[in-house]
Structure 1
Amino acid sequence: MTTQQIVLIAVAIVLVAAIVTAILVIRSRRRSEESPSTPGAPREVTTEVAPTPGSSGAGTTAAPAIQVPESVDSRLVRLRGRLARSGALGQALLAVLGRDTLDEEAWEELEETLLQADLGLAPTTELLEELRTRLRVEGSRDPQRVRAILRELLLAQVDPTMDRSLSLDPRPLAGGRASDAGEAGEAGEAMVNVPATVLMVGVNGTGKTTTVGKLARLLRAEERTVLLGAADTFRAAAADQLATWGSRVGVEVVRSEREGADPASVAHEAVARGGAEGVDVVIIDTAGRLQNKAGLMDELGKIVRVSSRRAPLSESLLVLDATTGQNGLRQARVFSEVANLTGIVLTKLDGSAKGGIVVAVQKELGIPVKLVGLGEGADDLAPFDPEGFVDALLGDKAA
């Protein structure tokens, strides 16, 4: 054997050894990545924990202080005041009704004002017919009496009899054991309840993810424990946004480690972990999907089915931008067919000309407006109060 042949054989042996070593390393890494940290948990899902307030140590950065959200009562007073200061709808109606005479031109102006406020044709016709009758029968043009009649009729349209409370009581767990929910409890300990689960849906641009964060703050103000599920896996910024909101009030976020992961998997994991950890409420954020995209709506239906396997959803809330008018109603119709909506959250509801959307969307779907947002502040979300809303629109100082 020549020297050249010996060298070639040695080189070949080295190359084969290098290839085998590389293969072994790659396989080892794959096994490590594919090993779930929790038995039964989806592999790409992790929980991001909010830092403990005041904790610090060598080589670490002190965690930000946990914020104390504004109380519900304080929110209601502040939001009513904001509505009253910008109550363009009520001011426009009272200006016409305060004229010396109410001719047909005046009634047409009232109709136009209500339609521009997105009240809807049927509610507008009903309200004006009743108003005409009441003013004619009573024969009073006293401004305070006219205001009282208008308040009564507007309140009837908003419908104070609808149940606007959030259903947030724990639900019985089907199957009765923690392991059934995808989490092994201590020594297989039986679980009695699962947390209330709130699904948030809506199209892009309505402020849905921000509303999820604000709702978490509202529930923390009521001293409830909360877990967030970042099921908008197509937009990494959405999960980051939720993590920021959660860290401010000590709330954890269940999110995917990779973009484009199965949203239903994240939703399932959030509910399972919420049950295993005894959390009061799990809020699931979904992708802002266009109502005319059938595939995305099918995906939302899957999230609903998966999230409901252990117990029915406690709430399915549609986030609507109050300024979108009739387009918002079209969105509501489609989402109601997929997500079994239980309530509406109206964002950007100031006292401008769009207050009538409250009436229109409720009459369209037969479900109540439960929460309203009036500003960009972290605590600018509050339960919807029909009487306070109408009083604010009419500029009632007591509101």
Structure 2
Amino acid sequence: MLSKSGRGISLVRSAILLAVAALIATLFTAPAAQAADGQITGLAGKCVDVAGANSANGTPVQLYDCNGSNAQRWSNSGDGTLRALGKCLDVSGNSTADGALVHLWDCTGGANQRWVVSGANDIVNPQANKCLDVQDRNSANGARLQIWTCSGQSNQKWNAPPSGGGGNPGGFVVSEAQFNQMFPSRNGFYSYSGLTAALSAYPAFATTGSDTVKRQEAAAFLANVSHETGGLVHIVEQNTANYPHYCDTSQSYGCPAGQAAYYGRGPIQLSWNFNYKAAGDALGINLLADPWRVQNDAAVAWKTGLWYWNTQNGPGTMTPHNAMVNQAGFGQTIRSINGSLECDGRNPATVQSRINNYQRFTQILGVAPGGNLYC
């Protein structure tokens, strides 16, 4: 039995050991501290810092005690860049290799200056598909920052300013930075602002169910439109020989814009005169008479995609929206969009292409893809 004084020494020793264990846990497992005033906080609660507050090209970016200086004030304007002292966080030499250092540089719009702040607190350079990382998990002042294969370790976890200094427009579960990561080569016509402007037409889209379901639905929609448009590159159908085939003359209203006017347009590649009429009627726009508006107005284009997604079964048995909200699975969205040509073994390569997009996009949004991916 310990004496009173011996028990006291034992308790002190235990307290010291517990404190050391807590410190180790903070360094290696704890999430980044909350960012404030434009700071990006990470390992050991320290800040992403421009060495010496020097704005010259090539100035190292490092970890340092947070001090509230301009060298630690970063803006995330929504264009995919992280900026301090009027310049951009840049991967040296446009490298995509593990260990490539980051530094400050004039903003050029290059892919080595694009960053996505994920829902999992990673900061990812999409070009390299690698994470902002503290070298050697070193929490000392002056530790250099680099890119490295994403590992989920604490030296890759950050709290950063949100895009645009606030939340996403209309509460959309996909930020502009994430959208840009999904579509690095997209046509400027398919703007994020055009998409968010269209969301009000179908307010249940990506707002129904749990946060997981909301993100899964957004990823599913964007994965399908990515397949339809080659990564949001093509505004109109590329095979012009098909153009005259989309006029169903059995419809009483005919094809007032011309027999060859109803070819595929927009993110879902809306086609056929009857679809243009139905979408236009639903949206209060005379698309039967003016189908070209879908290729000239980004918000209208996005609305036609959302119209189909939220209201049309197509060759399937449910709308794509219901397929995701009711957890029937991503495969059912494929069936509703193009199942008669792709599902049940008709074209497994295109089905796989859609699934690959969906899995990549759910990863960007930090959510599991769920089951029933195939049709």
Class of the TM-score when normalised by the shorter of the 2 chains: under 0.3
Bigger relative contact order (CA 8 A; separation at least 6): 1
Richer in helix (by share) = 1
TM-score by length of 2: 0.25
Give the greater-gyration-radius structure (CA).
1
